[in-house]
Amino acid sequence: MASEDDEFTMLFQDFYPSLCRFLECLLGGRAPLAQDLAQESFLQLHRTAWGTLPPGEARFWLYRVARNLAINEFRKSHTRYRLFDRVVEAMRPAARNPEQEYETRERKTLVLEMLQALPEDQRTALLLREQEQLSYREIGEVMKVSESKVKVDIFRARASLRQRWSKRAKTAGASAG
């Protein structure tokens, strides 16, 4: 039992931060909700599937469950957590280096805005590829779709983001000029 818990702890330490990051990007930067859903995914894994999954499958299982929970959140009322998220954001301790913090926040906001413009399946596929470095086959396993769909989704997501990026750069250039 102790070894099972040790294994679970290792898995948690390895993947909890990346699962939080994945969910945060998927949910448009709602960090508290992302952490809640990541916790819930691990909780479900511990309660239901831990020990029954083949070796190496737990990671995919986690991302699949986390994505489903996030999709449920999209469907549910979007307003419920917004206020709570704002409160948490307001209560966050001030940055040690405000300039650096500002830059980081700006960059994060930009990435999140661009990602939010993508359809959910393209966003998920791209995040799993770029952040988690999963292969197309593994992404297909998480999303329960074919490899060819993953390939097309990722390409479309990149093409769309590239287009937005260049539009944005042009607009910024025009306003500066």
Partner 1 sequence: MNCSFSEKISSLIDGELAAAEAREVERHLLTCAECELVRADFLSLRSQIAGFETSLQPAIQNRELQKILSRGEPVPVRGLRWGWATPAIAFATLLVFVAIGFVLYQRSSNTDPEKLVVQVPSPTPSPTIEKRDEPVPEESPKEPKTPERAPSTPSAPKKPLVREPRPGEQFAINNEPPLVTDPAPSTAPERVRSADTQTLTAIHFEKSETLLVAFRNVRLNTREAAGEVAHERKRAQQLVMQNMILRRAADANGDVQTSSLLENLEPILLDIANLPDKPDSNAVRTIRERVERKNIVPLLQVNSAALARALDD
Q: Which of 3, 47, 98, 99 forms a contact with partner 1 (CB under 8 A)?
A: 47
We find the least distance from the C-beta atom of residue 46 to partner 1, in angstroms, to be: 5
27 binds partner 1 (CB under 8 A): no
104 binds partner 1 (CB under 8 A): yes
Rounded CA separation 75/68 (Å): 11
24 binds partner 1 (CB under 8 A): yes
Q: Which of 37, 66, 70, 143 forms a contact with partner 1 (CB under 8 A)?
A: 37
Q: CB count, 10 Å around CB of 38? A: 25
Rounded CA separation 54/157 (Å): 31
Amino acid at 62: L
Alpha helix positions (H), the chain: 2-26, 31-44, 57-75, 82-91, 98-116, 120-130, 136-143, 147-176
Rounded CA separation 59/18 (Å): 11
Instruction: Pick the closer one to partner 1 by CB: 58 or 154.
Output: 154
Give the x-and-dash track for 150-169 against partner 1 (CB under 8 A).
Answer: -xx-xx--xx-xx--xx---
Rounded CA separation 39/136 (Å): 26
Which chain residues interact with partner 1 by CB under 8 A?
5, 8-9, 12-13, 16-18, 20-21, 24-25, 31, 33-40, 42-44, 46-49, 51-52, 72, 75-79, 84, 104, 107-108, 110-111, 115, 126-127, 129-131, 135-136, 151-152, 154-155, 158-159, 161-162, 165-166
